[in-house]
Chains A and B, each alone.
Chain A
Amino acid sequence: MMLYLILLPMLISMTLTAFLKDKLVRSRLIAVSMTSLSLLISSVFFYVYFSKDLIENFSWFNIETYTFQISFIANNLHLLMAVVVSFISLLILIFSVFYMRREKQEKYYFEMSLFIFAMLGLVVSNSFILFYIFWELMSISSYLLIGFWYEKEAASKAAKKALILTKVGDVSLLTAIIILFANTGTLSISATLSGLSSIPQVYLTVSAALFIIAALSKSAQFPFYVWLPDAMEAPTTVSALLHSATMVASGAFLLIMIAPLMYVSGTMVYLVLISLITIFISSLLALESVDTKRILAYSTIDSLAFMFLAVATLNPDGALFYLIMHAVFKSLLFLLAGELIILFGTRNIFKLRGLEIGKPIFYVPAFIGLASLAGIPPFLGFFAHATLSYNFSISIELIFMVATFLTSLFSFRLFFTVYHKNGTEKIREDKFAIIPIATLSILSTVGGASLFFFNSIIPIAYSFDLFLVLDSIIALLGLFAAYYFYSNRDFPYAKLDKKLKSIFRGVTYDDVLASTGTAITKFSGLVDRFEGALGEAFDSVGSLSFSLSYISRELQSGDLSNYIVIFIAGAILVMILMLVGV
């Protein structure tokens, strides 16, 4: 029982890439082999500890009766996540060999290893402080990775924006942890969740609200979603990892993990509201975007809002299933976008359209990925919808159908704009690109069936009912609508896009953020001016005391006659006082 072994390979990978600096062994070799090792270890653990619930505690330090403990957990939920994380990471790192061949390798692989390390640690930790440590490490590593091409101003800006917005979540998470720890006296997540009744309701509500803020900021939900599209300045492999199994998934994973606390806090109705807002904003923004990666970024926000909606409708296991399925098809889509960038040098969908890309090797995986995203049977998304929607009420079901339509519309807008029926391009494929893409495509096609035995891992509820039939019909409608609007090269789609753009421009609140920034800067300028005035006030007190000392120096002139005058005046004063009778 040494659960921390899961973390060891990535730790070794970090150390080796940092110190060998590509000299002895290629860092990509180190990173890929160590990630395979993590996959192996987590799979072995998953097999060995299947359906067991084991917790491993270490005491970090103590103050009085408070134990700051580090603790790892082995059960189906956490180990399954570890397997998924290391599997997706492995495929993305293999793809990186193709994608990052011209870049500074050791830095990239070091930061990626840190990123994967943080996510693996996060999914197996059972103590809030350990969870926070990995959570924050993930923020930092994503900051470094988003700013990987730091010389570009856009990248440097995006990195800063991402870290500041996620730091809001980090601070809320830390506050929530402090509130719970002060109330329960334990940092163990499982112990906290089983002892909820001892916590006063007000603290439950406050900490649940803070956890929700943390999750929203990490998963880029409304109102924090603005950092994610900008984070597209990162290398595409980073986006693929950030959007599928790590970073944004960790927010949803947090809520899934502490679901019992959420459900006694009475905050779920707000979460429903926020998810619905996020779904609509993100799908509309995806419809007006012309950048492959940005469209995918909005689709991630959209999909995560689905998960939050499932959590909010008391269906965390449905959210978990969706999370895993999403990790598969979203990493596929990002790898495809990355392939297009490397091979064709652009992310603009209209420029790509001009290139007439029509080989099956490009469009078949893309179709599989986008159909999964849209929820078209028999691909992954369809099965994920079956369990996601299990607890939906009628009204949410109706709204969800609209969301499905929008999602399907923007997915296939991307597809029909970029890919062409009879393309003419001549491009050589690379095996490091094809292996991960092929694996993920196959999984996206047949993986949905895993729903039927997922139940034996984690109890899950699903139903193939009328709603699901309607839902898939609507998804298909979205596909046809997209075909009608965007596949016809002569259709004035540009005009339509322009119209959409003018409608939804207000939705990105970059202006609001910018003016908040200026307001804070202005305010700090004011404080600084006050500080200047304060300093001057002290200075004038100083000079005042100097002038006072001049006066007092005058008094001590050494001139005897002066002293006599003062003495006599004093004596008269004393006599008067005596006469008055003081």
Chain B
Amino acid sequence: MINLIYLILPGVLGVIALYLKDVTHSNIPSKSISYTAMGATLLLLLLGTIFGFSGFNLAISKAIDLSISFNLNGISLPFLFLAVLMPMLVLPSFKYDVFDKKLTFNVLFLVIYVSIISMFMSSNLLSLFIFMEISLLSAFFAIFLWGNESSFNSAMKFLIFTQISSMLILTAFLMVFLYTGSFELTSIGAFTHSANSIYLSTVFMLVLVAAIIKFPVFPLHAWMPGAYYDSATSITALLSGLFSKIGGYILLLFILFITPISASYFSMPVMILAVISAFYAAFIALSKKDLKMMFSYSSMLYMSLALMGIMSNNAIGIDGGIFLMISYGFISPLAFMLTGYLRSQTGTTDMTKVGGLMKKVPTFALFFFIVVFASIGVPGFSNFIGEFLVFLGVFKFYPLIIISIVSMLIATGYYLSAVKRIVFEKFFAPVKNLHDLSKSELIQTVALSFVIIILGIMPYILINSINLGVV
């Protein structure tokens, strides 16, 4: 049995090691400390899935029921898998745009890593909230410290939006506490799971709005384009791959364990909003000429689909929503990593300024194809399973909403236009001398693609780890 607290120890030790390195002026590269910490965490997670996990409970204050308690619920494992594995595959991208303050970068990265892992394990809502806040604040600093010129504005916008959303979440948590006298997920569930009142519906609504901001879903996505576009590659990958799942996770906790009855009242309106959001994001992605912008809105499209699945009131849709979130959590880092590579080689991500890359950099083209095919739901890649399950669940919820599947056609349209623009046809670029993916980039892209393909061929790995009934 692996105690869950062990999962965060390597990260914490890594932060301490980084501090010591700074104090002692040691020559060890910061990134190797980060890699070691994350590798150890991954190993522990694997051991845990084989030998089983045991919970960890440390009461801090009995009066307000604050405790650091790590217990897995039925949906923790897939998110934990994403949070442990994905940052490790994203970190190497720092070389594209993080040129100074590397130590600080690594510290922030590890802090984000540890806090998000803790968040997905926390069964105490208050400590969950605290971990969430730590990660979001670290992300705020990470966005503007290593972003481009306009990144401070974007970071501020990100901060304001996420703080509003966090306040809503905190209010909801407090309301739950007032209702049940506990922050512990299991004891809350016992009180509220089959209860039904306006009070609980209000709680759910607060969480819902917060989640809509965090996903992001139309119309509260105004922070997204700037934050994704202006951040450094690895931070964008973290934001779209990991941070956008926080809202979904908390929403799922409420839908499954805390206020399932109230949640069902909101299904229809949220579903319609999510459909609008999906089409909205798809159309904007279609009009974008910048690759990074296109991928940003594309990520919004898939998060809207995931929201549809989550709100569909049946196991297939919810499983599909979770699967899609995890699956796209690996695809979007790959996509953003490729944009980072493109910018490092050609100096631009503008699709009208580069073309015919297949001739010069075939390996890049190969992975670009993988991103495109995986995103548009080609079987064999993970997104297909997610999309299929989401649309099946949505159909079971209300048949007509299956119309939303047309958004996949628009997605095909803009992805293929991107291929036509930058991969096919005659070569042209601001810089003539391009180098294909280096060895380390190759390892990174191959690893991400490997996860995407494995999840596509053996989806039961992830699906069997989801257990909707277990608090």
List chain A positions with a Cβ less than 8 A from chain B.
60-64, 66, 129, 132-133, 136-137, 140, 147, 150-153, 155-157, 159-160, 163-164, 167-168, 171, 174-175, 178-179, 181-182, 520-521, 523-525, 527-528, 531, 534-535, 538-539, 542
Contact = CB atoms under 8 A, between A and B. Distances in A.
Contacts of B392: 178, 181-182
A119 to B, nearest CB: 15
Given A521-B287, A542-B160, A137 B405 contact: no
Contacts of A175: 391, 402, 405
Interface stretch (B12-20, B327-335, B459-467): B459-467
B252 interface: no
B389 A137 contact: no
A520 B287 CA distance: 9
Contact of B405 (A60, A64, A155, A171): A171
A151 B395 contact: no
Given A534-B219, A542-B160, A64 B379 contact: no
A171 B416 contact: no
A185 to B, nearest CB: 11
Given A168-B409, A534-B222, A160 B419 contact: yes
Given A63-B315, A520-B286, A171 B378 contact: no
A533 to B, nearest CB: 11
B363 to A, nearest CB: 12
A236 B389 CA distance: 39
Contact of A178 (B225, B284, B356, B402): B402
A346 to B, nearest CB: 23
Contact of A521 (B286, B315, B316): B286
Contact of A61 (B222, B416, B463): B463
A133 B377 CA distance: 10
Contact of A151 (B288, B425, B459): B425
B447 interface: no
A63 B319 contact: yes
Given A63-B316, A157-B420, A182-B396, A527 B280 contact: yes
Contacts of A531: 225, 280, 284
Contacts of A163: 412, 416
Contacts of A521: 286-287
29 contacts: A61-B463, A62-B460, A63-B389, A133-B380, A137-B378, A140-B378, A150-B356, A150-B423, A151-B424, A152-B425, A156-B424, A157-B420, A159-B420, A160-B417, A164-B416, A167-B408, A171-B409, A174-B391, A178-B388, A178-B395, A521-B286, A524-B287, A527-B283, A528-B283, A534-B219, A535-B222, A539-B222, A542-B157, A542-B160
B420 A156 contact: yes
Contacts of B377: 136
A87 B423 CA distance: 34
Interface of B: 157, 160, 219, 222, 225, 280, 283-284, 286-288, 315-316, 319, 356, 358-359, 373, 376-380, 384, 388-389, 391-392, 395-396, 399, 402, 405-406, 408-410, 412-413, 416-417, 419-420, 423-426, 459-460, 463-464
A66 B316 contact: yes
A538 B399 CA distance: 35
A535 B225 contact: yes
B287 A150 contact: no
Main DSSP-derived SS at the A contact region: helix
B396 A153 contact: no
Nearest to A64: B315
A60 B389 CA distance: 13
Contacts of A152: 425
Given A159-B424, A171-B406, A164 B412 contact: yes
Contacts of B219: 534
Nearest to A162: B416
B157 A137 contact: no
What are the 10 closest A-B residue pairs judged by CB atoms, nearest first?
Answer: A133-B379, A156-B424, A61-B460, A524-B287, A538-B222, A524-B286, A527-B283, A528-B287, A524-B283, A150-B424
Contact of A160 (B225, B402, B420, B426): B420
Nearest to B224: A535
A174 B406 CA distance: 11
Nearest to B402: A175
A524 B420 CA distance: 19
A300 B410 CA distance: 29
Residue of B315, B413, B459 most packed against chain A (CB within 10 A): B413
A538 B160 CA distance: 11
A406 to B, nearest CB: 34
B416 A140 contact: no
A528 B417 contact: no
Contacts of A64: 315-316
A118 to B, nearest CB: 10
A524 B222 contact: no
A528 to B, nearest CB: 4
B171 to A, nearest CB: 19
A160 B222 contact: no
Contacts of B463: 61, 63
A195 to B, nearest CB: 18
A156 B395 CA distance: 35
Contacts of A60: 459-460
Contact of B287 (A61, A174, A527): A527
A137 B379 contact: yes
A182 B286 CA distance: 32
B280 A150 contact: no
Contacts of B384: 133, 136
Contacts of A542: 157, 160
A254 to B, nearest CB: 16
Given A164-B412, A178-B402, A150 B425 contact: yes
A314 B410 CA distance: 36
Contact of B378 (A136, A160, A520): A136
A153 to B, nearest CB: 6
Contacts of A61: 459-460, 463-464
Contacts of B280: 527, 531
Contacts of A133: 379-380, 384
Given A151-B359, A159-B424, A137 B380 contact: yes
A132 B379 CA distance: 8
A164 B413 contact: yes
Nearest to B362: A107
A150 B288 CA distance: 23
A129 B356 CA distance: 35
Contacts of B409: 164, 167-168, 171
Residue of A152, A153, A171, A531 most packed against chain B (CB within 10 A): A531
Given A156-B424, A535-B222, 13 more contacts: A63-B389, A140-B378, A150-B358, A150-B423, A164-B413, A171-B406, A174-B388, A179-B402, A520-B413, A524-B283, A524-B286, A527-B280, A535-B225
Contacts of A178: 388, 391-392, 395, 402
